[in-house]
Amino acid sequence: MSSYRSLARNRDFTALWVGATVSELGTRVTTFALPLVAFALSGSVLWAAAAEAAYLLGMVAMLLPAGVLADRHHRLRLMRLSLGTGVLLHGSLVAAGVAGRLTLPHLLVVAVASGLVAGLFVPAESSAVRRVVERDELPTALSQQQARQHVASLLGGPLGGALYGVARWAPFAADAVTYALGWGLLGRVRTDLSPEPRDPTTGPGRPRRDLAEGLRFLWAHPFLRIVLCWSPAANLAVNALFFVALLRLVEAGFPAWQIGLAETAVGAVGILGALAAPVLIDRFPTGRLVVVVAWSFVPLAVPLALWNHPGSLAVASTVGMFLNPAGNAALGSYRLAITPPELVGRVQATMQAVSMLTIPVAPALAGALLALLGGRDAVLALAALTGAVALVPTLARSVRAVPRPAEWTPLTTRDRSPAHVA
């Protein structure tokens, strides 16, 4: 595709993408290892779960202020600050581990701090992508981001497990190295990533007012308002459905390697979907593609309810995981295209923070339904919930009416008029 070729020639995007990909792989290694190390230090599954929760808590807590920072400060400096801090944080765990002085409190503090620096990176990167690529390249650029997430997810677990087998501190050493590599690669970006000039009539910036400005833009735009409400509900339903499927496999006594192979197959389908995403986004109206993706996980219920086997999970996830990258990239690129440049950081951060709010609840919902209803009925109940949630974008004309990327320009001009943003 021409967009892939043009992005390959874009040295700044390549440096940004490779740097972020390397650091994300290291992050997946660490998040896989955190519960294992916490359990080894404490002997408690609660502390093991707390270590991963601490990372997520730090990330979610940082997203909203990071959005304000991304719109008010130099984006490249924020990203390099994030990665440089990551080197120091994980280096401290390596030093403590080598000295035999690694403790649970130290691990938990680094987990929270790592989440904070990850949250700082996300809005700055979104704003940077908007600046370094052309408008018509946004779907392909965000599709490549989806591909990197699936690759990191696919490789992070096995690599983290292998490194943990060498030494408890080895995964953190690998993460420190990837952060350092990412820091160096970002130094090759030459595009000016300084913030948009402020309107002098608005007066000096105030964090609370700046954050409210981004939220007002989201809420005033019908499409973004629907997505803001729909995305956390969809994340809750789909993640709970996957958790129920995994818990049933564990409960049935399937060996870990079979479950791992099923997850690997799911990740591989996601990578293929990310590669196909630019074609799907280009050929189908964005709104209709979003609706199809919203319904794509509902068919999970049939094979999962009838056949509790790792192969069932792999097969049932095929359609949803193949289409999901296209849906995410289409939503993200359209959101970037219609958001004024001076609001990109806040809009992206707010959307991601809200969409992530329900993810920690998904395991609890899955466990409760499994205990109350049993495996088959829990799957069917969550499938019904997923279908009910899918009705939100299906019934919303503001979603269905979004055209293909080639037709976004006139719509963007209208949506950004003062009548829609005030």
Q: Domains of the chain by range and CATH?
A: 1-194 (1.20.1250.20), 206-422 (1.20.1250.20)
Q: How high is the pLDDT of residue 245? A: 80
Q: How high is the pLDDT of residue 1? A: 53
Hunting for tokens 């803001």 — which residue is that? 228
Taking CA 224 as the corner, what is the angle to CA 27 and CA 287, rounded to the nearest 5 degrees? 95
User: Between helices 222-251 and 256-283, what is the axis angle to 10°?
Assistant: 160
Neighbouring residues of 406: CB distance < 8 A, sequence distance ≥ 6? 136, 282
Lookup: tokens for 277: 């995403």
Whether the Cβ atoms of residue 189 and residue 132 lie closer than 8 Å to each other = yes
Q: How high is the pLDDT of residue 405? A: 84
Q: Where are the alpha helices (DSSP H) in 9-103?
A: 11-42, 45-72, 75-98
Q: How high is the pLDDT of residue 172? A: 92
Lookup: tokens for 369: 């339904």
Q: How high is the pLDDT of residue 178? A: 92
Q: Which of 54, 110, 92 is nearest to 173 (CA)?
A: 92
Q: How high is the pLDDT of residue 199? A: 57
Q: Residue 416 carries which side chain, given as an amino acid letter?
A: R
Q: How high is the pLDDT of residue 257? A: 64
Instruction: Identify the segments of the chain with pLDDT beneath 70.
Output: 1-4, 45, 198-205, 207, 250, 256-260, 409-422
Whether the Cβ atoms of residue 115 and residue 56 lie closer than 8 Å to each other = yes
Convert 34-44 to b/e letters by CB count within 10 Å (16 or more is b).
Answer: bbbbbbebbee
Q: How high is the pLDDT of residue 283? A: 87
Q: How high is the pLDDT of residue 421? A: 30
Q: How high is the pLDDT of residue 420? A: 32
